[in-house]
Amino acid sequence: MEMAVGLIMATYFGAIIKSLVADIIMPPIGMLMGGVDFADLQMVLQEGIAESSEGAGDAVAQVAISYGVFINTIITFVIVAFAIFMVVKG
C-alpha cells in the first residue's frame, strides 16, 4: 500500500515539476535568450502540404524534430532528480 501511495505521489510530483519548468522557469530563460520559446524550436525535415480546396490533393503532415521539447524535458528531469536527491538525502 505504501508503495502504491509513493508511486501516485511521484507521478503527480513529476506533473507539478513539469508545469514549473514549462510555465515558470522556461519563459524567463527564453526571454533572456532573445524571446525564444523552447517548445517551438524544431528542425523541419519535410514541410506539411495542406489539402487543396478541390479535395484532389492529399494532405501531408509536417515532419520535424522538436528539439526544444527535448530541452524542456531534460531540464524537467534535472530538477526532479535534484528534488528527489534532496528528499532522500534528508
Q: What is the pLDDT along the chain (90 residues), one digit of tens a residue?
A: 788 888 888 888 888 888 888 888 888 888 888 887 777 888 988 887 776 666 556 677 888 898 888 888 888 888 878 887 887 787
What is the DSSP code (8-state) at residue 57? S
Q: How far apart are CA 37 and CA 82, in angstroms?
A: 24
Other CB atoms closer than 10 Å to residue 55's CB: what's the count? 7
What lies within 8 Å, CB to CB, of 85 at 6+ separation is: none
First to last CA, the chain: 23
CATH of domain 2-89: 1.10.1200.120
Confidence (pTM):
0.61
